[in-house]
Structure 1
Amino acid sequence: MDKYNQLYQSLFDQEDIFSNIEVIQTMAIDFFPNILHRCIHERYVTKKIEGQVNDLIDYYTTHSSETRFWKNPELFKCLVDFSLQKDTSSQKNLLNLIGMQLGIEHEPVATTKHLATRFFYYQKCYFFHENKFELNETNHFLVHKMDNTQILTVCLPLKNAFTGFISEDIYPTIFSTKGTVDEMKLLIENSLSILQKYSPGLYNDLFETISYVFLTPDFGDSIRFSYNLRTQYFGAIFINPFQTNEVAFAESLIHELIHQRIWMQWAYNMPDLHEYEQIRIESPVTNRLKSLPVMTQAYIIYNVLYDFNLFLVSENIVSGARKKKTDTAIQHLQKNIPFLYSRLTDAAIDAPELSNLIGRVHALTNTFCYEK
């Protein structure tokens, strides 16, 4: 059994922070009615629209097994926006947008610019405001899992697609077009092939959890070339392909997959994590300040990436200059993961849930040959 599966299986058995993929799916499916029920219970919605909310819950519950519902990041965006919105008129607009996501409404609704106005519908992406277009053969493609049971929808950089939603520094509005569908498809297929060889479990998890991979414009960051938007846009990850090769792209897929799984689990099991967001830790790996919850996840990710890099060398996946770069990455992780563990244990002294997780991960990975 590969170390990814060993780590996950051991943590699955704890039944708290990680779980098997069926439970992650159940959480993603239940996210919809749970948020709307909470809004009713906490009186976020008026009696005037409560009936519409209940109708959406009933419709969703009846059809929730359809993957086009829960594997839809735009639906999560609308839900999170709705839970934060107190204005009745804005709530009604968002309910209409949710209806579009579910296939109930088919026409765009009037909406203000600060609201989420995008929606995916049967593999097509429409944008309202100034922009409206469909995904087509020039700006997206599908990647099929080896057994053809799942697909990833991969979108090339889209101009103005995320304006007002994602900051300019990581998804520029204006950019020069780079890369063709064929070039990007080859990059991703090669990356997925490496992941499948490394860990069939991780490969399966990727297709089960992630539905959209958005290739970003080149935002020029040679250290950070991927990110996700937590449960606000669950099932979608963002990767800059212009700062990567197939190995670095595979690492980004691992990185963001683990983040997405943990954020969904924490949405249910650790609802009060926001108090720890103010605790900042400098990563000894990237030298960047991040919150305690994020760096707790990073500790798990770095352990998996350490093992992944060992695999690249042992299986001769990399050679020449790439092997030298991989050897350097192994040494860097080997040296700095223990430093991160020390910083995390100090920072999490008053965060028992995180402290417990950090300790278990450390115990599960202590067979790695870290520098003492």
Structure 2
Amino acid sequence: MTALRSPLHDEHVALGATLVDFAGWEMPVRYTGDIAEHTAVRTSAGLFDLSHMGEIAVRGDDAVAFLEYALIGRLGAVGLGRAKYTMMCAPDGGVIDDLVVYRRDWDHFVIVANASNKDVVLGELEGRSVGFAVDVEDESAQVALIAVQGPRSEAIVTAMTARDADNIGPLPYYAATNVVLTGDIHAFVARTGYTGEDGFELFVAAADAVDVWRLALAVGGDAITPCGLSSRDTLRLEAGMPLYGQELTRDTTPFDAGLGRVVALGTEANPRGDFVGRGALEAAKGAPPARVLVGLVGDGRRSPRTGYKVTDAEGAVIGEVTSGAPSPTLGRPIGMAYVDAAASEVGTEVLIDVRGRGEPMTVAALPLYKRA
């Protein structure tokens, strides 16, 4: 099957990007180098094409009631122009996808799904919408998503904005606003991201994507660097942010991943009705975890990789690495892994089976990096 292409495909080619297949999309994995792109986001600003992500609109009188049934979060509590990190779970509590939901109007929400799961999420939403007065529409092909991330992102996005520029600086984390960019381009700008740095994500019409990309590069100048999927992965790993298919799967619950806080079961004073997966998640909350998602740090030169076994000093398998890489910011190998609860205490020494050799690492608290 032919890979899908972002509206920015030709821009990536012109910049010399290395393109790879990612969830059925031909996307840039890097432009110049992973470390340089990673460091640019930590110290200045990086520019990302996220147009492979899915955007699904939910509109209608029952939008709130529907989303509170279909997802595990309380979407009715999300204010206008605000966003919420949440998940869609199966009836058994397994994670179908982790999502960010934006409230565009009182009866209009936009769900951003991972590219690999967009069709599954769309199908589940359509199936769960029976009996609710809502319309569920896949708008992914009409929307381009471009991110500016890093400590200089606010100045760059403000300079890109022709009208309502004063709204950018005061915008809180997980909030969004409508602005007009230079060139009379309308954008929905959110202070969200997946890098552990301050940053913005710009939702624009696919037809405007090239102009917005070029505008960001022109305004940012030497302060902004085009960044690929590889640096995005090491940035989110340092920041302890889970990746679907690795830390989150159909075989994990939010509680397994240390994200029980996103499960809104309600309280006696503020009860909540039924939602898909409620019974299983109530049981998971009350059960002691058999395994725990932890951070890993090492002092050697070899990094853990997804699927590597975690063992104790005697060689008994006590877990499995979900993500791992050399950390450009910390200057050492890092990772995340699910380990037996008994081995999850911070400071526990473990071994990572790297091609038959035990590489020593230490259990560390997540996130492994926090911006100042």
Normalised TM-score (structure 2): 0.25
Normalised TM-score (structure 1): 0.25
- Richer in helix (by share): 1
- Richer in strand (by share): 2
* Highest RCO, 1 vs 2 (Cα 8 Å, sep ≥ 6): 2
